[in-house]
Amino acid sequence: MDERIAGLGTILVDDIMIVEQTPRIDEKRDALEDERQVGGPVPTALALLARFGLQSRFLGCWGDDAAGAYVESVLRSDGITFPAASRRADGRTGHAHVWVEADTGRRTVVCRRPSGGAANGPIAPDDLAGVDWLHLDGWPPDRAVEAAQIVHERGGHVSIDAGSPRPRMDELFAVASHVNCPRRFLERYLDESDPVMGAHQLMSLGARQVTVTDGSAGGWLVNRAGAWHCPALPLDRITDTNGAGDVFCGGMLYGTLQGWTPQDALRCGCAAAGLKCRGRGNRAALPTLAEVESAMQRLSVRDASSE
């Protein structure tokens, strides 16, 4: 099996509660529905690639516990491989509670990251053998930097889904072929709300290309050649936004790996993220490649260089 794509980052067991409205402090509400899934930015992006026919390897860790066994079963069903050392007897699997509003699709997340041996540790160079592209979310920081430097020094590419500021991110940006982040990341990390200006600041740290997402406002792509904006995919109804940014990254990565233009890769990311919002969770809601390619025809990218 050819696994030239590898991912490293947070992986969690998500317990999802569908509610009429997010409860206030000291308020109790009944859930309309509930379900369990595996979450995390990188494994969700890899799951989309697998659905599109690209094999990958996940290098994150989890505990030798019931939740860890569930993680392994889901990754196997996704077609994503992982080293045996990912299961750590000295660690605990990460866990998250996700509340999703039934009418708006908005979600609130409280998570506990993997702990103990599942939280960090050196990367095995053999795990990165033959890897041409490494996708990261910056966690755990030391392991992410080590893996990024190994792949970069071998001439490979590194992409980063920067959902929130983390330690040593400047070191990751310095070797990144592509950085994706939500607009709120720019505000927190750079004190900059303009997506094009913020992207240029990240490029000044070393990133060769940057995408910035902003929910219903769509996404921006900035590189040395210019800046472009793609609107969000129009939807009659939004069921669940949880994981939309992760799926956007998967769509962008797929288009890039296929050799598409950056603008078409941006349309792929926006189309995939929008289609995901039609369904709940991430795995069951992932669109097919045919659906994404069809939806891309509804999206037009415009020049945003002058903004």
Residues 136, 156: contact at Cβ < 8 Å? no
How big, in percent rounded to 5, are the helix, strand and coil portions of the chain? 35, 25, 40
**Cα angle value 235/239/240 (rounded, 5°):** 110
Residue 222 falls in which region: left (phi positive, over 0), alpha (psi -120 to 50) or beta: beta
Task: Enumerate the H helices of the chain as residue ranges.
Answer: 41-51, 66-78, 141-153, 169-173, 183-189, 195-204, 244-257, 262-276, 289-296
Distance in Å from the first CA to the final CA of the chain:
45
Rounded CA gap, 203 and 207, in Å?
4
Give the pLDDT confidence score for residue 121 in this predicted structure: 62
How many other C-beta atoms are found inside a 10 Å radius of the C-beta of residue 156? 19
How many other C-beta atoms are found inside a 10 Å radius of the C-beta of residue 139? 25
Predicted TM-score (pTM) of the model is 0.94
Rounded CA gap, 292 and 274, in Å?
9
Give the pLDDT confidence score for residue 1 in this predicted structure: 43
How many other C-beta atoms are found inside a 10 Å radius of the C-beta of residue 61? 27
Rounded CA gap, 6 and 54, in Å?
11
How many other C-beta atoms are found inside a 10 Å radius of the C-beta of residue 55? 15
Tokens standing for residue 19? 């509610």
Give the pLDDT confidence score for residue 239 in this predicted structure: 86
Give the pLDDT confidence score for residue 105 in this predicted structure: 82
**Cα angle value 174/248/118 (rounded, 5°):** 65
Rounded CA gap, 169 and 156, in Å?
19
Q: 40-60+122-303 maps to which CATH number? A: 3.40.1190.20
Give the pLDDT confidence score for residue 70 in this predicted structure: 97
Give the pLDDT confidence score for residue 282 in this predicted structure: 80
CA neighbor of 287 nearest in space, from 227, 235, 216:
235
- Mean pLDDT per 10-residue interval, the chain, length 307 residues: 83 94 92 93 97 95 94 96 91 92 88 79 82 96 94 96 95 98 97 97 98 97 98 91 94 97 98 94 90 98 89
Residues 11, 143: contact at Cβ < 8 Å? no
How many other C-beta atoms are found inside a 10 Å radius of the C-beta of residue 283? 18
Single-letter amino acid code for the residue at 115: S
- To the nearest 10°, the Cα dihedral for 152, 156, 159, 160? -30
Give the pLDDT confidence score for residue 179 in this predicted structure: 98
Domain ranges across the chain: 40-60+122-303
Residue 199 backbone dihedrals phi, psi, to 5 degrees: -60, -40
Residue 252 backbone dihedrals phi, psi, to 5 degrees: -60, -45
Single-letter amino acid code for the residue at 47: A
